Amino acid sequence: MFRAMASNLEAIARVAIAERGIFHLVLNGGGTPAGLFRTLTTEPYSSSRIWQATRFWWGDERSVAPDSEGSNYRMARELLLDPLGIEPSQVRRIKGELDPVEAAVHYTELLRRAAGPGRGWPRFDLVLLGLGKDGHTASLFPGSMTPEDAVVVAATADYEGRPVERVSMTPAAINSARHVFFMVVGVEKGEIVERVVNGTYDPEQIPAQRIKPLNGEIVWWLNV
């Protein structure tokens, strides 16, 4: 599955670079993307010319330091960015070490600076997302709705019995993407996948249902 994903990612990147000279890629966190990251650092993907023109973003981040074991950035740096020799100038991380509200404001400004004329954020070429057993994606958790005009928000929720503070892109930013990949691994997630895709529309309790690209496509990569 990860090799198929890597091949599709590279194909999307080549089109983006040929048409616009840059590939905007949004990474996700959690344990699932580790397999994809490792695959991308093997041949033939590691020597691809796409990496020099790639800008790396994150869909969400925990409120931790960048060297923390819980940092989405740290995992990507260790498994993907450093092995590929990515330059710091290509990386746009969420500053999890800041107060979540402050980090959200900072990231909103980074997005604005990279946006085209008249836009508040770049139109991402590919957004990678996971799916929690509770239906959350990025750090959009059940029971919380984000303002329609917000691009990045501070998120507070109880997840698996523990409180979490995070920073997350909103559906407003994600749904402008050209491509969205949901990657879901684990037999315990089969039921929630069915509810997201075919169940009653309940975006407040199943936030992943809010991901509906306006002029793009979603691909589900499943091993459930």
CB 167 within 8 A of CB 155: yes
Taking 70 as the threshold, does the pLDDT of residue 72 lie above it? yes
Q: What is the mean pLDDT of the chain?
A: 94
Q: Report all structural domains of the chain as residue ranges with CATH numbers, in order of start.
A: 2-223 (3.40.50.1360)
Closest CA to 176 of 151, 154, 144: 151
**Separation of alpha carbons 139 and 167, rounded Å:** 7
Q: What's the whole-model pTM score?
A: 0.95
- What percent of the chain shows pLDDT beyond 90? 88
Per-residue pLDDT at 161: 61
